């Protein structure tokens, strides 16, 4: 009965996609394109905040919003990471065709997300002022940074809701539906930005409020559609029972992914503190450059999310060699995209910065271009971080991904605390490349280790004995 229901759902116009069959590259690119469009729209409505703040309110307000970027990533990144982690067991259950487990992972994820969003909202709202103090936020930008980030933190439940539902969509192979809701969210965000700031005369808190309202509407709309669309998710009363085994699995997979984002963000916070030391003009320049970076890195970020779902489904189906092939092909595609992106920035980098900074702010534009150009030159290194790390996560080895996050943090802190004495502002620009290189040196061999261990567990490769045991066996038979 369950298999019949599953087949019916897959045949309906539900957008569900089984990534365990067919050409790996075609599966990946077919799933990647909607994820890329969704990521692009997400960055688009984040950029609108910055554009309107920069054009309508001024440089100090722009610096205030920019200062909060790394702090927001520290907290919101944890929410995104843990929701992405919760989606991995769902994808593995989908690949294994275990629909009962799939539903129970979803319901236990709901309980988990309610608890996490409640705790995070209270803690971050109470501590955000002190966190801005720890970051040495420039005095003229401080109040704008606080007024912006406290609204963002108050809206954490909406952020968790949207990311949880989007993760479920992707785990079921549906990468198109989240794009629709992001388009709705983007349009609403733009309308509210223009209403709150130019029309109603609100300051930076208007931009934050527009973002939270738009994300809340998108989250609830996508949740309603998810429940209505997929019969496979029509829960019974028994499915809603909290189960220790499922909670434990979600914790083992999801918590390291959330911590990975936050640990990586610690390095970004230290780096932001280093940027702050160069003054408000540098802060505004890097704020604009960070928005450009978020836009041009969308294809690579989308490939990372794609590989998490692809690896998760194929892990559930026990198709490890298919994971390897997909990783190889996706990495080559992203390296090609990285080269093209660098050329675009080399030619049009200044024009992109003008979206956020007035043309008479010559010094800020110079900071923005230098930061964007040097960061983009490191995109081939970022490719491996995203494709390999998310593949490892999809396979269920979240602790390895968290270790890579620790290495990124250490490298960014080194660039922020040590290199400025030798390279000045250039050290800030080199920080991303240093972090990605440190992560790559760990992640690439880690993937082959995870692949071998998984094959041994599934009986697809003989167990590897230690060198001492092999030597003892050879001496015995000699």
CA dihedral 163, 167, 173, 174 (to 10 degrees): -20
**Nearest partner of 246 among 236, 258, 254, judged by Cα:** 254
Task: Please check whether residue 90 lies inside any domain of the structure.
Answer: yes
Lowest mean pLDDT among 51-60, 215-224, 320-329: 51-60
**Would you state the pLDDT for residue 478?**
44
Task: Please check whether residue 364 lies inside any domain of the structure.
Answer: yes
**Would you state the pLDDT for residue 461?**
62
| Secondary structure letter of residue 463 according to DSSP | P
Whether the pTM exceeds 0.85: the reply is no
Averaged over 90-108, what is the pLDDT?
83
Question: According to the per-residue pLDDT averaged within each range, which of 45-49, 283-287, 445-449 is highest?
Answer: 445-449
**Would you state the pLDDT for residue 463?**
53
Q: Are 270 and 416 in contact (CB under 8 A)?
A: yes
Percentage, residues of the chain above pLDDT 90: 17
Boundaries of domain holding 253: 25-460
Number of domains in the chain: 1
**Nearest partner of 460 among 315, 358, 345, judged by Cα:** 315
Opening angle at CA 37, ends 33 and 40, nearest 5? 135
Q: What value does the mean pLDDT of the chain take?
A: 82
Task: Please check whether residue 5 lies inside any domain of the structure.
Answer: no
Task: Please check whether residue 19 lies inside any domain of the structure.
Answer: no
DSSP 271-315: HHHHHHTT-HHHHHHHHHHHHHHHHHTHHHHHHHHHHHHHHHHHH
Task: Please check whether residue 315 lies inside any domain of the structure.
Answer: yes
Averaged over 273-287, what is the pLDDT?
81
Q: Which helix (H) or strand (E) holds 244?
A: helix 244-276
| Secondary structure letter of residue 240 according to DSSP | G
When comparing pLDDT for 140 and 15, which is higher?
A: 140
Task: Please check whether residue 362 lies inside any domain of the structure.
Answer: yes
Q: Give the pLDDT band (50/70/90) at residue 235.
A: confident
Q: Give the pLDDT band (50/70/90) at residue 391.
A: very high
Task: Please check whether residue 442 lies inside any domain of the structure.
Answer: yes
Q: Is the pLDDT of residue 475 over 60?
A: no
Residue 192: CA count within 13 A, CB half-sphere = 22
**Nearest partner of 406 among 417, 418, 398, 394, judged by Cα:** 398
Q: Is the pLDDT of residue 127 over 60?
A: yes
Q: Give the pLDDT band (50/70/90) at residue 1.
A: very low
Task: Please check whether residue 221 lies inside any domain of the structure.
Answer: yes
């Amino acid at each position: 009965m369950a298999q019949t229901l599953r087949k019916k759902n897959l045949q309906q116009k539900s957008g569900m996609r089984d990534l365990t069959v067919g050409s790996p590259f075609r599966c990946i690119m077919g799933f990647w394109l909607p994820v890329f469009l969704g990521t692009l729209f997400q960055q688009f409505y984040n950029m609108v905040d910055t554009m309107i703040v920069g054009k309508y309110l001024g440089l100090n307000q722009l610096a205030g919003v920019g200062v909060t970027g790394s702090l927001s990533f520290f907290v919101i990144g944890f929410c995104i990471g843990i929701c992405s982690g919760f989606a991995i067991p769902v994808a593995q259950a989908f690949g294994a065709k275990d629909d009962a487990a799939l539903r129970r992972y979803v319901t236990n994820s709901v309980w988990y997300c309610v608890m996490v969003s409640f705790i995070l909202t209270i803690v971050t709202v109470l501590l955000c002022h002190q966190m801005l103090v720890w970051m040495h936020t420039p005095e003229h930008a401080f109040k704008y940074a606080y007024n912006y980030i406290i609204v963002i933190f108050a809206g954490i439940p909406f952020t968790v809701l949207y990311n949880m539902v989007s993760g479920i969509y992707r785990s079921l192979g549906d990468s198109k539906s989240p794009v629709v809701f992001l388009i709705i969210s983007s349009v609403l965000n733009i309308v509210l930005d223009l209403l709150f700031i130019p029309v109603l005369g609100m300051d930076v808190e208007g931009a934050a409020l527009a973002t939270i309202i738009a994300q809340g509407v998108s989250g609830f709309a996508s949740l309603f559609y998810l429940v209505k669309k997929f019969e496979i998710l029509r829960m019974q009363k028994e499915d809603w029972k909290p189960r220790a085994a499922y909670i434990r699995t979600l914790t083992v997979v999801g918590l390291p992914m959330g911590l990975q984002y936050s640990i990586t963000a610690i390095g970004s916070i230290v780096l932001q503190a280093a940027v702050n030391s160069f003054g408000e003009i540098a802060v505004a320049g890097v704020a604009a450059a960070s928005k450009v970076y978020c836009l041009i890195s969308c294809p690579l970020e989308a490939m990372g999310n794609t590989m998490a779902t692809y690896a998760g489904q194929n892990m559930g189906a026990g198709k490890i060699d298919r994971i390897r092939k997909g990783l190889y092909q996706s990495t080559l595609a992203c390296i090609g995209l990285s080269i093209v992106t660098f050329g675009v920035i080399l030619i049009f980098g200044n024009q992109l910065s003008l979206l956020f900074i007035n043309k008479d702010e010559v010094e800020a534009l110079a900071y923005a271009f230098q930061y964007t150009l040097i960061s983009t030159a490191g995109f081939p290194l970022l490719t491996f971080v995203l494709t390999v790390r998310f593949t490892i996560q999809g396979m269920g080895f979240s602790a390895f991904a968290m270790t890579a996050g620790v290495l990124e943090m250490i490298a960014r802190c080194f660039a922020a605390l040590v290199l400025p004495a030798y390279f000045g502002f250039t050290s800030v620009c080199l920080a991303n490349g240093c972090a990605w290189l440190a992560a790559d040196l760990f992640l690439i061999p880690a993937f082959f280790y995870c692949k071998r261990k998984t094959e041994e567990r599934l009986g697809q490769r003989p167990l590897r004995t230690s060198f001492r045991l092999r030597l003892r066996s050879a001496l015995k038979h000699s």
